[in-house]
Structure formats: structure tokens, C-alpha cells
Amino acid sequence: MRTRLLLPSLAVIGALSGCATAVVVKPAELANEPACAEVMVRLPDVVAGETRRSTNAQSTAAWGNPAAVILRCGLPDQGPSALPCFTVDTIDWLRDGAGDPSFTFFAYGRAPGLEVIIDSTLVSGTAALSDLASAVGALAAERYCLDATDVLGN
């Protein structure tokens, strides 16, 4: 009986070790959007000093070992949000710090939506977003972050 249990376990270990270099990422709902392909072909090989790795899903990318930066393109529109919004190299980002020290940044006002998950214990979020700005800029900006003065008037 022990031999029967051991053989399937060895098969699973063998299967997992065969794809140990790929980062497992869940694809976004709209990952097959042509606009995501425009982003993917523009992604840099190095982000925040980390080298790009392969992933298992369409319209995703990762950098670092362990993965310090993960990008997913093809999210539904985020719409207006109470999350803090700021601009790095002409790209507006919403920052969700619920997973601190990992932060999720959503490219605001761009369709399809795009997120970048950054482990702040491994890399600088600002450096990573700056390195990704050119590629994310392939998605046209439809909306921009507003400041309280924009909403409350002059």
C-alpha cells in the first residue's frame, strides 16, 4: 500500500519540477484583448534590477527570483476609486496596500485594465512602475487621476 501512495507522489514532484522556472499567474478575464499584446511586446527584460521570467498564462509577466514584480493585463475597468492615485512617468496608478508589504497597482483609466503586483521587500515600487511605463503607455489613457482641487473647484 505504501508503494502505491509513493508512486503518484513521485509523479507529481516530477511534473512540478519540470516547470519550476515558470511563475504561476492566473490570467485576467480579458487577457486575449489585442491591446494586451501591444503591452506584452513592449515589456522590458529588466524591471527594478530584476530579470524577466516566463509565466504560465497569457498577458502576464514576472521579474525576479523569487518573483518581485508580476504584471497582468486584461482586467475589467476599475472605474472611479477611493484608492490613492498617483502618477509615475505619465501613467496614473491606483495603489492597493491591503497585502502590505506586497502592493497592487492598477493602471488607472486604461482599457483593458492592467495590474502590477510588487513585493516591496524585494524592489522599489516606484522603480518598477517607472520601468514599465513605456509598455503600459501602449494602452490609451481614457481617464486621469483627479485631485481634490479638481473636484471641489478653483
* Domain residue ranges of the chain, discontinuous segments joined by +: 23-147
- pLDDT of the chain, 154 residues: tens digit per residue: 443 433 333 333 333 344 458 999 999 999 999 999 999 999 999 999 999 999 999 999 999 999 999 999 999 988 888 999 999 999 999 999 999 999 999 999 999 999 999 999 999 999 999 999 999 999 999 999 986 555 455 5
Look up residue 6 and give its amino acid: L
pTM here is: 0.82
